[in-house]
Copies of this chain bind each other. A is one copy, B any other.
Amino acid sequence: MTTALAARIAREYGTPAVVIDMDRVERNIARIQAACDAAGVANRPHIKTHKSPYLAGLQRAAGAKGITCQKLGEAEVMVDGGLDDILISYNLLGEQKMQRLGALMRRASITVTADNPAVLADLPMASAAAGRPVPVVIECDTGRKRAGVETPAEAIALARQMTTMPEVRFAGFMLYPTETGWPEAQRFFDDALAGVRALGLEPSIISTGGSPNLKNLGQLRGATEHRPGTYIYNDRMQVAAGVATWDDCALTVYSTVVSRAAPERGILDAGSKTLTSDTGGLDGHGLILEHPEAKIARFAEEHGFLDLSRSNTRPQVGDVVRIVPNHVCVVVNMVDEVLMVRGDDIIGTLPVAARGRLR
């Protein structure tokens, strides 16, 4: 079964096509902004999901305080696109990045992150280029075992190091609690806060993160802002996490069935170079809206291999289907542009301007 819009997209644009429905995008932006407002927490959306200054502008216009970027190159694209007040939630290191950070600080308000002394030690280079101190939040690991200091004592030690460095300014704490780990995060934060206050410091940013954590919004006492990313599009992981419905999924990949190969198999023209091999811990690689019993079982680079053994209705060669990906952020990162639709109308293309800005 191919919808009229799917047929039009295949004919006028071609598949695989990464398509966003702007009605849903705007609804998602408004809904989460309202949730942040209700929780009394500022919204600082993470642009890693869409990588578009235009969409970041919509988020700002809806009430977001600023934005979050993961890479310096992304922040440069956002400043080029008119955005300001940017948190780069990433350790930046080395002379090349420090020169670029300093140059960017001359154009916009930028805060960076640190979880170790070596990162702090490089920041004076950026400060010299910027002509002012670099604002820094301390990243705290409250259970995910990703980046971040592991104990409040380490956080306090970094803050103490900052008090000896005129080139940096302590700006606060960045946390990314697990979905069930907010009490643990609270204890970590309370201890770290007491420690930095004893040093005469006061945080201005206390940031929590993650779209799956939207259900916990406002649950950290003292939090000033949240940095959700995926909510603008949503995906199979967000639905599985219980923070979005299928109707909230604003991005779908339109893909043509190019072969049936065998009665219980089928092949899509979207493989790991479109949908990526990120599973997000889920079984299969996306939901086909027209054939929810079909499993996208595995990939070649440009082929998606369907297991249709549990499907009552099976697609025909030439059908154009819509896929909600497991992890939308990495899918957007595969394409130079997304196709914008509104209901059944094709509006145009939107550049994924910060795609590939991995440095």
Q: Does B276 lie within 8 Å of A276, measured CB to CB? A: yes
The CA-CA distance from A16 to B70 in the complex, in Å, is: 13
Flag whether A71 is at the interface (Cβ < 8 A).
Answer: yes
Question: Given A261-B146, A272-B278, A276-B277, is A17 in contact with B359 using a C-beta cutoff of 8 Å?
Answer: yes
Q: Does A359 lie within 8 Å of B14, measured CB to CB? A: yes
Q: Does B145 lie within 8 Å of A265, measured CB to CB? A: yes
Q: Count identical subunits in the complex.
A: 2
Flag whether A191 is at the interface (Cβ < 8 A).
Answer: no
User: Which of A56-64, A86-94, A181-189, A233-241 binds B?
Assistant: A86-94
| A167 / chain B contacts, CB cutoff of 8 Å | none
Q: Does A334 lie within 8 Å of B359, measured CB to CB? A: no
| A13 / chain B contacts, CB cutoff of 8 Å | 96, 359
The CA-CA distance from A317 to B91 in the complex, in Å, is: 10
Secondary structure call for the A interface: loop
A111 to chain B, nearest CB (A): 17
- What per-residue 1/0 map shows which CB atoms of A331-349 lie under 8 Å from chain B? 0011110000000000000
Q: Does B15 lie within 8 Å of A359, measured CB to CB? A: yes
- What per-residue 1/0 map shows which CB atoms of A38-74 lie under 8 Å from chain B? 0000000000100000000000000000000011000
Question: What are 16 sample pairs from A and B whose C-beta atoms fall under 8 A apart?
Answer: A10-B94, A10-B96, A13-B359, A48-B301, A48-B302, A90-B269, A91-B267, A94-B256, A141-B261, A145-B305, A146-B261, A147-B259, A270-B358, A273-B330, A277-B278, A277-B330
Chain A contacts to B: CB under 8 angstroms: 10-17, 48, 70-71, 90-97, 115-116, 118-119, 122, 141, 145-148, 150, 256, 258-262, 265, 267, 269-270, 272-274, 276-279, 300-303, 305, 316-318, 329-330, 333-336, 356, 358-359
